[in-house]
Chain A
Amino acid sequence: MVEFWAFALALSILLYILLDGFDLGVGMLFPFAAGEDERRAMLASISPVWDGNETWLIISAATLFGAFPPVFAIVLSAFYIPLFLMLAGLILRGVAFEFRYKATKSRPLWDAGFVAGSYAAAFVQGAAVGAIVEGLPIENGVFVGNGMSWVSPFALVCGIGLCIGYALLGACWITRKSDGSLRAFGFAALPKLMAALAAFLVVVFAWSLAIRLPVLARWTERPLLLVCPLIGLAAFAMLAQAVRSRDDRFLFASGAAIFLAAFATLAGSFLPYMLPFSLTVFEAASPAASLEFLFWGAGIFVLPLTLAYTLIVYVVFRGKTAGERSY
């Protein structure tokens, strides 16, 4: 039962990162688009799916509280201010999405909200991962730091890194979904983003070595983990090849594979810890009575249903969106 919920949580978080990752990325690329036509095409490419993508954040949070309440309590209180900024960003972004077309004079304001919200959400998520990798101050399953405990140069760089990563996913997405000038914009942006991401990964790796991150010790204990970065490297090469040959079929899949490799690397170096190195998955899990109660409705019924719903939406809206004027 614990394994089931750990898997369900990992899946929800991964889906959230991949799905909301690309639409946050589109939000970050938004100000760099040439004109209103490109911007509209950008919004059109994510409009049928973005709120469905964000429901995976709610599902992740609900699963975390439902199955692993101590982690929910620690993470949410440790990232108090950034978390509220992220929520504000996501709300602002959602509202801006609706209101920019209803507004005439205030459109720049809504656009600014859309962009700022996207950056804020991505940065906070990246910084949170960085801070968790470094290790939060936890005693007896309770967070004992303060509001600034998460702040470190390493975490901040990770925040910037995730912004780059999401922007890369966003670029893959708009290139795949559009024609003409927006597609050209995507192909022009991709090499720069790939270079930036590669630089970030090298820096983070060197930095982790320099500050002797305890997580790294896992790699010597578990050499099999090295497969994950190798897969990431292969995906990176595939992406480079796709960009060079202007082939957009596997763009997003390659981008997603890089994220998948990074996610698997982290998960592989964490386990059995949920928060390294203070709380394991089994220590954090609710008692069996709670997990089973959650399983017999949410686990076997609602979760697969939501997965199917997500899948259907993506099948319905597959292919290019260009030409659709009203979103």
Chain B
Amino acid sequence: MDLTPLLLSRIQFAFTISFHIIFPAFTIGLAAWLTFLEACGLITGERIYRRLSDFWLKIFAVTFGLGVVSGIVMAFQFGTNWSELARRTGPIQGPLLGYESFTGFALEATFFGVLMFGRGRVPRSAYFLACLMVSIGTSLSAYWIMVNNSWMQYPTGYSLTANGVFVPDDWPAILFSEAVRTRFPHMVLAAYVTSAFCVAATGAWYMLRGTAVQEGRAMAVMGLRLAAILVPLQLLFGHLVGDYVHDRQPAKFAAIEGRWNDEQPASEILAAWPDPKNERNLFEIAVPYLGSIIGSMSLTAKETGLKSFAAADRPPVAIPFFAFRIMVGCGLLMLAIAWVGTWLSFGERLLKARLFLVATSLSFPLGFIATLTGWYTAEVGRQPWAVYGQLRTADAVTPVLTTGEVAATLTLIACIYALIFGFGALYILRLLRAGPIPKAEISLYGTNPKRPLSLPGASPGVTGAAGIGD
């Protein structure tokens, strides 16, 4: 494959968005988790919720900062690398992404300030309200992103002008399309599950280390029980998303299923090695009838195969096929951990179940992997279209770019992201190692609400700041 500006632009976008999505996936869930902790604290009045909340707030602050920084580049990429997309879909995507930026700053940043400054200065109920607003703000940001992406997956509510510009003529149809209704909850649940597992894994780690056992147990139990409810719900919404893909993006569905030929009734391929050159699968393990049941809830339905689409209109098969299976695998694994953990969490068995605690403490990447592979399935499966069925990715890229230019910016972004990600990860690790029990009274005040990176860690140059990490 030649390194064309198109391919490099796609790699660049995939790289930045993969990097970026890690942080929102975490912050949306953590904001809800902080709200939940504050609510528990308000109702029960127990001190432990306050300790947990203070601890996770610091981690939230770092992730929030990294999410904002990595998101800035994305906002510009629509114009730099995908100027034809920006020009032609701007009347629809422009306002949607504009709203994302606007709500992000209005709700998140403003109330985030209260979270950082407000402890001890505002009443507990007001603090809870600020948590709730940040939580709503992050979810609202996710909503706009999902509306925008869903419109690219399933364009609706528009008309095309003579010069190929997409003009909105039905905003409600765009804002509440079938795709949005299933994919937005799917994304929010993904964020919640991801955070629940990070919390549970951290808790399990403290229990294993024997430090902060009480707090650790609270984290593990709450995280696992929350996940025990959320993961099945997520599987349900995942199925609903699958239904919409089946009806609206049949080529993507066929690629996910690894189905080359039309089948009636269709079998479901559990594992295989897709061989796109010969349009077949190698080493296929399939269950008869299950494909029709999953696709159409019937034993006899005909399911479309990839060969029904012109070769130029087919997505790549391997990435959606495998990414989807990794996502589902992570989901099922999380379901098992969450249910076993919930069962163990009644009584005093959890602390003795060392092996289970080790498994839980290692489970923190599962949610991230599932989120990423889910997005790979969705985005690669949409190819070769940028706007499904309407605008090809090859026609969306900035026409005047050269390979050298895109390669240069890709390298630049990779270096910068590696730098900030490295340091961000280092600070989170320091915070985790320091644990939820405050060593000394560490002042949260005197820092800036919009500068969350200034919160954690020691500042050797500044007198009076207690070091957290050393």
Could you say which of A65-73, A167-175, A223-231 contacts chain B? A65-73
Contact between A91 and B72 (Cβ–Cβ < 8 Å)? yes
Say yes or no: B90 contacts A59, CB within 8 Å.
no
Q: Give, as a whole number of angstroms, the nearest-CB distance from A70 to chain B.
A: 5
Tell which of A142-150, A242-250, A254-262 binds the partner.
A142-150
Distance, CA A18 to CA B372, complexed state (A): 40
Shortest beta-carbon distance from B430 to chain A in Å: 10
Q: Please tell me which stretch of B280-288, B297-305, B461-469 contacts chain A, meaning at least 4 of its Cβ atoms lie within 8 angstroms of it.
A: B461-469
CB of B273 closer than 8 Å to a CB of A: no
Q: Check if B168 sits within 8 Å of A289, measured CB to CB.
A: yes
Contact stretch, chosen from A24-32, A76-84, A180-188, A210-218: A76-84
B242: CB under 8 A from chain A? no
Report A110-145 residues with CB < 8 Å from chain B CB.
140-145
Number of B residues with CB within 8 Å of any CB on chain A:
64
Instruction: Give A256 Cβ to nearest chain B Cβ, in Å.
Output: 22
Cα A5 to Cα B463 in complex, Å, equals: 47
Query: Is A4 interfacial (CB-CB < 8 Å)?
Result: no
B80 surroundings in chain A (CB, below 8 A): 76-77, 80, 83-84
Knowing A101-B461, A287-B91, say if A143 contacts B450 (CB, 8 Å): no
- Given the known inter-chain contacts A141-B87, A289-B169, please indicate yes or no for A302 contacting B106, CB distance below 8 A: yes
Q: Check if A69 sits within 8 Å of B90, measured CB to CB.
A: yes
Report Cα–Cα, A101/B307, bound state, in Å: 60
A61 touches B459 (CB 8 A): no
Interface residue B345 (Cβ < 8 Å from any Cβ of A): no
For A88, list chain B residues within 8 Å (CB): 412-413, 416
A4 CB to nearest B CB, Å: 14
A222 CB–B CB distance under 8 Å: no
Could you tell me if B412 and A289 are in contact, using CB atoms closer than 8 angstroms?
Answer: no
A287 to B91, CA, bound (A): 7
Residue contact A309 to B90, C-beta cutoff 8 Å? no
Residues of A within 8 A of B211 (CB): none
Tell me if A52 counts as interface (CB < 8 A to partner B).
Answer: yes
Q: How far is the CB of A51 from chain B (nearest CB, A)?
A: 5
Main secondary structure of the interface of B (DSSP, over half): helix
Q: Is A203 an interface residue (CB 8 A)?
A: no
Asked if A66 meets B97 with Cβ closer than 8 Å, knowing A55-B105, A289-B171, the reply is: yes
A48: which B residues are within 8 A, CB to CB?
448
- Verify if A298 is at the interface (C-beta below 8 Å from B): yes
Interface-located stretch among B177-185, B214-222, B395-403: B395-403
Is there contact, CB below 8 Å, between B409 and A66? no
Within 264-295 of B, Cβ neighbours of A (below 8 Å) are at none
CA gap between A48 and B401 in the complex, in Å: 39
Cβ contact within 8 Å between B90 and A72: yes
Q: What distance in Å separates the Cβ of A147 from its nearest Cβ neighbour in chain B?
A: 5
**Interface presence of A102 (CB below 8 A):** yes
A265 at the interface (CB under 8 A from B): no
Q: How far is the CA of A88 from the CA of B99 in the complex (A)?
A: 24
Q: Does A202 sit within 8 A of B, measured CB to CB? A: no
- Inter-subunit contact A95/B79 (CB<8 Å): no
Instruction: Name the residue of chain A whose CB is nearest to the CB of B454.
Output: A98
Beta-carbon nearest neighbor of B84 in chain A: A73
Which chain B residues border A102 with CB–CB below 8 Å?
A: 457-460
In the assembled complex, B440 has its CB within 8 A of some CB on chain A: no
Contacts of B344 in A (CB 8 A): none
Which residues of chain B in 105-126 are interfacial with respect to chain A, using CB atoms and an 8 Å cutoff? 105-106, 109-110
A65:B78 contact, CB within 8 angstroms: yes
Task: Determine the distance from Cα of A70 to Cα of B408 in the docked complex, in whole angstroms.
Answer: 25
Which chain B residues in 433-456 approach chain A with CB under 8 Å? 446, 448, 450-451, 453-454
User: Please, which residue of chain B has its CB at the minimum distance from the CB of A52?
Assistant: B450
Residues on B with C-beta less than 8 A from A55 are 105, 109, 450
CB–CB A298/B446 < 8 A:
no
Q: Are A58 and B90 in contact (CB under 8 A)?
A: no
Q: How far is the CA of A61 from the CA of B420 in the complex (A)?
A: 23
B401 touches A77 (CB 8 A): yes
Interface presence of A92 (CB below 8 A): yes
Partner of B91, one of A92, A143, A290: A290
The answer to the question of A94 belonging to the interface, with a C-beta cut-off of 8 Å to chain B, is yes
User: Are the CB atoms of B448 and A47 closer together than 8 Å?
Assistant: yes
What CA separation (Å) do A76 and B93 show in the bound complex?
16
Known contacts A61-B75, A95-B423; is A290 also within 8 Å of B83 by CB?
Answer: no
Interface residue A178 (Cβ < 8 Å from any Cβ of B): no
Contacts of A318 in B (CB 8 A): none
Which of B90, B168, B464, B465: most chain A CB closer than 10 A? B90
A73-B83, A144-B400, A325-B462 as given contacts; A51 in contact with B90, CB under 8 Å: no
Write the chain A residue with the least CB distance to B459. Answer: A101
A307, chain B: closest CB distance, angstroms: 11
Contact A67 B94 (CB under 8 A): yes
Asked whether B15 is an interface residue with its Cβ less than 8 Å from the other chain, the reply is: no
Cβ of B167 under 8 Å from chain A: yes
A73-B83, A87-B73 given as contacts; is B90 within 8 A of A81 (CB)?
Answer: no
How far does the alpha carbon of A85 sit from the alpha carbon of B73 in the complex, in Å?
11
Q: Output the least CB separation between B467 and chain A (Å).
A: 10
Q: Contacts of B416 on A, CB cut-off 8 Å?
A: 88, 91-92
Output the nearest chain B residue to A55 by Cβ-Cβ distance. B105
Tell me whether A147 and B75 are in contact in the complex, defined as CB-CB below 8 angstroms, given that A91-B416, A102-B459 are known contacts.
no
Given contacts A59-B102, A84-B413, A290-B91, could you give 15 more A-B pairs where the C-beta distance is less than 8 Å?
A: A65-B75, A69-B87, A76-B76, A76-B78, A80-B80, A81-B408, A81-B409, A90-B72, A91-B420, A140-B163, A289-B167, A290-B94, A293-B168, A294-B99, A326-B465
Residues on B lying within 8 angstroms of A by beta carbon are: 69, 72-73, 75-76, 78-81, 83-84, 86-87, 89-95, 97-99, 101-103, 105-106, 109-110, 163, 167-169, 171, 398-402, 405, 408-409, 412-413, 416, 419-420, 423, 446, 448, 450-451, 453-454, 457-465
Report 23 cross-chain contacts, Cβ distance below 8 Å, ordered by A residue: A51-B448, A58-B75, A62-B101, A69-B91, A72-B86, A81-B408, A81-B409, A84-B408, A90-B72, A95-B69, A99-B423, A99-B453, A101-B462, A102-B459, A143-B400, A287-B167, A289-B167, A297-B102, A298-B95, A298-B98, A305-B106, A306-B102, A325-B462
* 10 tightest A-B CB contacts, nearest first: A69-B90, A76-B79, A66-B98, A73-B83, A62-B101, A73-B87, A77-B83, A302-B102, A98-B453, A286-B91
